[in-house]
């Protein structure tokens, strides 16, 4: 049975349709990456899946008692709020001190427990977020552009950490990323989103697409022309010609 | 002991300072200062309505503060331009309240008592309201502490952990109305926000966790209340503003000594 089953999600914000007819199932242990141009609704989809946003149409079914480990895109802690890493890990529920230490080690930031969150570097901060996410032994780890603000080696190391974490606790992983070239090798499935699901497939299929680098270079122009595999649904809108242009 | 009006005043000040010091941390962390202002200023309107209908002042103030807090809560969830709107509501409520109080027939109302507090005239009944309300605020915050803290750090993290941040914000809104109702007798409508914010801000520099900041904030609030009362008696000034003066002095000392220490290291 799926961990999360989202069907025909439609979400509008300020009269603008952000998501339309998005269906997505996540099975235990699988790694799924969502790619798409800016403003394509990737973060919105994740926030719908965790229950932070309620879609106008469609339904999200989460497995009974599903434990979600969520790593947000960025987290701004107000400077007036003093908080140590250890205190942060104990929110909202107190955790075993040894488990907290272990989670920090797993996330690659062992021994930082007594530090103030505000004194961490960008990479350390994201790893602490990861440590907190895995502390609850999640069934699914959700990462929203978790490497934003990290340099190339930093984000590569971060994704290696994710793979190690998944091996350790066997959770499913759903991530949103621009850095397809980094995350792709580990993904079971890649989903291309642009308001709706344009196409999805294995990373091999994606990597075989000659123009896939354009996604990370020239912006959104060629973003939808990347995938040469057969689409599993008809395209009856204006993205069509992009696809043909790449053939 | 309670026969002494100074003892009653001190107890009223301490009870209010504990509740305000604790809740004030969330007001600071969530940047709700203007929210507090709007709710507190609405209290003057509550006074007018209570006098008009002959109900207790606490009830009128509590009801109107609650209505104002819920109104802001509802509007802010619709993503309106919150800052401007709060400014409009805060001062409109104050102005309407001031006009309404003077229009009440057959009443000569001592406005100063409601604007700046009148802690020296606190009765046993007032004390019961203050300590009852204060205990309610402390208990609710104790109960909701972790959930509220998570929701304050990030609504999305809260949702993912099964905590509803909207609900936590609603609880905070209700508690804010309760503190306004409790504090109006002690520091008055105009200075309630100060009692919420200044002790918490003074505590910030010397706290490493949210809990330490909360305890320190309550301590600073209590010290301000007791010292403010004493100084007001000595210099024969009004008590509410003197309490805030002491709190502001502690804040200044905290800020300056923190800067000096940072420069020194």
Using the Cβ of B208 and the Cβ atoms of chain A, whether some distance falls under 8 Å is answered with yes
Give a yes or no: residue A183 inside a domain.
Answer: yes
Confidence of residue A233 (pLDDT cuts 50, 70, 90): very low
Please count the structural domains in chain A: 1
Q: In the CATH hierarchy, which fold is given to the domain comprising B5-264? A: ABC transporter involved in vitamin B12 uptake, BtuC (1.10.3470)
Give a yes or no: residue A198 inside a domain.
Answer: yes
For residue range B197-213, list pLDDT tens digits in order.
999 999 999 999 999 99
Give a yes or no: residue A24 inside a domain.
Answer: yes
Q: Residues B92-118: what's their mean pLDDT?
A: 85
Judge: B161–A136 Cβ closer than 8 Å, yes or no.
yes
pTM beyond 0.80, yes or no = yes
Judge: A84–B156 Cβ closer than 8 Å, yes or no.
no
Look over chain B and give the mean of its residue pLDDT values, rounded to a whole number. 91
In chain A, residues with a C-beta closer than 8 Å to the C-beta of B28 are: 80
In this structure, what CATH number is given to the domain that contains residue A34? 3.40.50.300
| Residue A174 domain boundaries | 4-67+137-246
Q: Shortest Cα distance from B111 to chain A (angstroms)?
A: 35
| A50 vs B147, B150, B156: nearest CB | B156
Q: What is the pLDDT of residue A146?
A: 79
Q: What is the pLDDT of residue B124?
A: 92
Judge: A82–B212 Cβ closer than 8 Å, yes or no.
yes
For residue range A107-142, list pLDDT tens digits in order.
888 999 999 999 998 888 988 998 999 888 899 999
Judge: A92–B161 Cβ closer than 8 Å, yes or no.
yes
Domains of chain B, residue spans: 5-264
Three-state SS string over chain B comes to CCCCHHHHHHHHHHHHHHHHHHHHHHHHHCCCHHHHHHHHHHHHHHHHHHHHHCCCHHHHHHHHHHHHHHHHHHHHHCCCCHHHHHHHHHHHHHHHHHHHHHHCCCCCCCHHHHHHCCHHHCCHHHHHHHHHHHHHHHHHHHHHHHHHHHHHHCHHHHHHCCCCHHHHHHHHHHHHHHHHHHHCCCCCHHHHHHHHHHHHHHHHCCCCCHHHHHHHHHHHHHHHHHHHHHHHHHHCCCHHHHHHHHHHHHHHHHHHHHHHHHHHC
Lowest mean pLDDT among A158-172, A219-233, B56-70, B125-139: A219-233
Q: Residues B231-251: what's their mean pLDDT?
A: 95
For residue range A178-203, list pLDDT tens digits in order.
666 666 667 888 888 888 887 777 87
For residue range A60-111, list pLDDT tens digits in order.
999 888 899 999 888 889 999 999 999 999 988 899 999 999 889 888 889 9
């Amino acid at each position: 049975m799926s961990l999360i089953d989202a069907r025909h999600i439609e979400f509008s914000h300020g009269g603008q349709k952000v998501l339309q007819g998005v269906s997505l199932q996540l099975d235990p242990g699988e790694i799924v990456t969502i790619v798409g141009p800016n403003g394509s609704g990737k973060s919105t989809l994740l926030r719908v899946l965790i229950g932070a946003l309620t879609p106008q149409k469609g339904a999200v079914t989460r497995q009974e008692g599903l434990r979600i480990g969520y790593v947000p895109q960025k987290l701004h802690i107000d400077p007036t709020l003093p908080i140590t890493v250890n205190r942060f890990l104990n929110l909202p529920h107190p955790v075993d001190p040894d488990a907290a230490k272990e989670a920090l080690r797993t996330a690659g930031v062992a021994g930082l427990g007594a530090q103030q969150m505000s004194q961490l570097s960008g990479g350390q901060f994201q790893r602490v977020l990861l440590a907190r996410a895995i502390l609850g032994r999640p069934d699914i780890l959700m990462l929203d552009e978790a490497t934003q603000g990290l340099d190339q080696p930093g984000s590569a190391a971060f994704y290696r950490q994710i793979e190690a974490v998944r091996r350790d606790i066997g959770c499913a992983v759903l991530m949103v990323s621009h850095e397809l070239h980094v995350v792709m090798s580990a993904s079971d499935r890649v989903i291309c989103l642009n308001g709706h699901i344009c196409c999805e497939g294995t990373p091999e299929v994606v990597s075989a697409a000659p123009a896939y680098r354009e996604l990370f270079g020239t912006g959104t122009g060629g973003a939808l022309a990347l995938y040469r595999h057969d689409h599993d649904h008809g395209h009856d809108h204006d993205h069509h010609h992009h696809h043909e242009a790449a053939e | 002991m309670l026969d002494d009006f100074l003892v009653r005043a001190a107890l009223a000040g301490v009870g209010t300072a504990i509740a305000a010091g604790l809740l004030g941390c969330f007001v600071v962390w969530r940047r709700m200062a203007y929210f507090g202002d709007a709710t507190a200023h609405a209290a003057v309107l509550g006074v007018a309505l209570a006098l008009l209908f002959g109900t207790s002042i606490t009830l009128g103030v509590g009801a109107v503060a609650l209505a104002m807090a819920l109104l802001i809560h509802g509007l802010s969830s619709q993503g309106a331009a919150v800052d401007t709107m709060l400014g409009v509501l805060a001062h409109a409520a104050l102005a309407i309240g001031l006009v309404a109080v003077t229009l009440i027939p057959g009443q000569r109302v001592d406005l100063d008592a409601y604007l700046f507090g009148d802690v020296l005239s606190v009765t046993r009944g007032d004390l019961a309201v203050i300590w009852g309300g204060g205990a309610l605020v402390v208990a609710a915050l104790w109960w909701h502490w972790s959930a509220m803290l998570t929701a304050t750090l990030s609504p999305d993290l809260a949702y993912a952990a099964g905590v509803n941040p909207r609900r936590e914000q609603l609880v905070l809104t209700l508690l804010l109305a309760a503190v306004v109702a409790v504090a109006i007798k002690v520091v008055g409508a105009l200075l309630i926000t100060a009692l919420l914010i200044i002790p918490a801000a003074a505590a910030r520099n010397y706290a490493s966790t949210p809990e330490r900041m909360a305890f320190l904030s309550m301590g600073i609030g209590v010290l301000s209340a007791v010292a403010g009362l004493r100084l007001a008696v000595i210099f024969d000034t009004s008590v509410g503003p003197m309490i805030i003066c002491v709190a502001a002095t502690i804040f200044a000392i905290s800020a300056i000594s923190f800067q000096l220490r940072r420069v020194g290291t």
